[in-house]
Amino acid sequence: MHIEDGILPLQACAVWYGGTIAFVVPGIYEIKRRVRENPSYKPFLAMVGVAVFVISAMHLPVPVTGSCSHPCGTALAAILIGPFATAVISAIVLFFQAVFLGHGGITTIGANDISMGIVGALSGYVLWRALRAVDCPLWLAAGVAGFVGDLMTYLVTAFELAVSLHGRVPLVKEWMIFFMGYAPTQLPLAIAEAVFTSAVLAAMVGRRPDLLPQILLKKGA
């Protein structure tokens, strides 16, 4: 989902940057508020940020398709630190990946953050909250959040490419062409991300439920 520099027109990059700023600014306020409420939130944020950096740079081979791709980890991050804070740390992660690893681009940080740090995180988070609200077990809610957050990231990346590059080809057709470039490889990784999200969340809840107050809204955690 890392779109490189030179692919999207500058106008599109500006629009995606604008969308990102609309989430990053409230995210900074959310971080400040939660740090005041709980001093443990700051090291927790650092740990989650670095975890997203590693997870979203970790290319895994998928023998079914003969190509490699990476999970995102942003659905898990949104559950742990909140969706707006996830938009902030994802923007930072994407900046470092672009500058030091040649992964993604500078002009495309906005577009990449929209897909990974905002839609991927928010979709996973909303599903998580909805499933927990109906007494869904923690492992299942977390797994579904991880799975959907992963696929939504790639769906939105494909849309960002298609909306700028579809030309005379129908938008939906171009969108699906780009998405099918990702989907066969991403599907097994989304399943892996579901398992990973469940396992990590279960381990964290078992050790420090006090750090994760929203997780224990319902019984069965």
φ, ψ at 60 (rounded to 5°)? -115, 135
Q: Are 164 and 215 in contact (CB under 8 A)?
A: no
Angle, alpha carbons 110-72-164 (nearest 5°): 35
Does the protein bind other proteins through residue 173 (CB under 8 A)? no
Kindly indicate which of the ranges 84-92, 118-126, 204-212, 213-221 contains the residues binding other proteins, using the contact rule CB under 8 A.
204-212
Q: Are 202 and 194 in contact (CB under 8 A)?
A: no
φ, ψ at 166 (rounded to 5°)? -75, -25
Cβ distance to other proteins smaller for residue 14 or 133:
14
H/E run at residue 29: helix 10-37
How many residues touch other proteins under the rule CB under 8 A: the total is 56
Cβ distance to other proteins smaller for residue 134 or 210:
210
Does the protein bind other proteins through residue 146 (CB under 8 A)? no
Site mask, other proteins, residues 115-144, x = CB under 8 A?
------------------------------
Cβ distance to other proteins smaller for residue 47 or 130:
47
Q: How far apart are CA 184 and CA 152, in angstroms?
A: 14
Q: Are 104 and 98 in contact (CB under 8 A)?
A: yes
**Which residues, 69 to 108, sit near other proteins by CB under 8 A?**
69-70, 96, 98-106
Cβ distance to other proteins smaller for residue 99 or 172:
99
Residue 203 CB, nearest approach to other proteins (Å): 7
Does the protein bind other proteins through residue 171 (CB under 8 A)? no
φ, ψ at 61 (rounded to 5°)? -75, 140
Which of 186, 194, 197, 215 is close enough to bind other proteins by CB under 8 A?
A: 186
Residue 46 CB, nearest approach to other proteins (Å): 6
Kindly indicate which of the ranges 23-31, 118-126, 127-135, 200-208 contains the residues binding other proteins, using the contact rule CB under 8 A.
200-208
3-state secondary structure of 67: strand
Three-state SS string across 63-94, please? CCCCEEECCCCHHHHHHHHCHHHHHHHHHHHH
Q: How far apart are CA 44 and CA 86, in angstroms?
A: 12
**How distant is the alpha carbon of residue 209 from its chain centre?**
23
* Site residues (vs other proteins, CB under 8 A): 1-7, 39-40, 43-44, 46-47, 50-51, 53-54, 57-63, 66-70, 96, 98-106, 157-158, 161, 165, 167, 174, 177-178, 181-182, 185-186, 203-204, 207-208, 211
